[in-house]
Amino acid sequence: MHDPDCIARVSAPSVRRSITVGCGAWLLLLATMLPAAPACALDRVLILQEFITDRNSPPGRPDGYMDTTFFAARGPVHAALNLGTFARGLEAGWTGRDRRGGSYVGLLRRRQGGFIDDTALEARTSQAFGRWVAKGSVRLQWPDRPDGDNLLLIPEVGAEVYTSSYSFAAVRAILDPRPYAGVAFLLTNRLATRDAFFEFTLVPRTDGTLNYAVRGRWRWVHLGYARDHDFDYSRISRDVWMLGLQYDFGP
């Protein structure tokens, strides 16, 4: 979505200002999700910390970043605030369901002030057919500094097959319309119970690159690692370690 060689270093004061403004925006958004009367708890809260290390970065660009995501959901509404030195932004979304178990998600995201400046509008759906679930989505993305079209249409299709109430295998295909990009296939196997899972994902691409990720959760704790040999189809090689805490308020 951008040329890594043309992005300036983010200063520490700007990081602090963005964190202050972002925390205020997140708290304001959470306030709109809470009921006006009793102090009813949210359905779910997640805080996820990412430790990012890059190799082969362009001159003048940092090799390490720390990004924190605050996620909260109540009923059909969710909000996510991302703060850090690489990506900063705010996302708000809504999920609806029909009588046969299909789900429909709409979300709006704005990222600004880090190394990614863009706006995205996305629609997703999942349709259940017994143990199988068909998935599809379309994302409209407007980069602030496009290296081609100023509007990207990014489709995704996929399917999941459940082997138990929580465990499944999945395949997804994401088409990146940029001329130097291609199709990424996400092959995932998740072994899970109600409050724990272990997930391994292979990401082969049509340009011959193979990336992968490992994630897990045990009750409140999330752990993960992702390896991206050429981040965003660039020459940057990226490692991401993840540590998170999740609390579900429901029964």
Q: What angle do CA 95, 154, 246 make, to 5 degrees?
A: 40
CATH of residue 118? 2.40.160.40
Query: Residues 6 or more apart from 184 whose CB is under 8 A from it?
Result: 173, 174, 176, 203, 204, 205, 206
Exposure letters 142-174 (e unless 16+ CB within 10 A, then b): bbeebeeeeebebebebbbebeeeebbebebeb
Successive 10-residue mean pLDDT values, the chain, 251 residues: 37 45 50 45 92 92 94 96 94 95 96 92 97 97 82 96 97 93 96 96 95 97 96 91 93 63
d(CA 20, CA 134): 40
For residue 23, the surrounding DSSP H or E stretch is: helix 12-33
State whether the Cα torsion 54-57-63-67 is positive or negative. Answer: negative
d(CA 61, CA 66): 14
Query: Is the overall model pTM greater than 0.85, yes or no?
Result: no
Q: How many domains does the chain have?
A: 1
97, with CB counted inside 10 A (0-12, 13-18, 19+), is: exposed
d(CA 95, CA 34): 17
Q: What is the distance, to the nearest Å, from the Cα of residue 72 to the centroid of all Cα atoms in its chain?
A: 14
> Is the CB of residue 107 less than 8 Å from the CB of residue 119?
no
Domain of 27 in residue numbering reads as 4-248
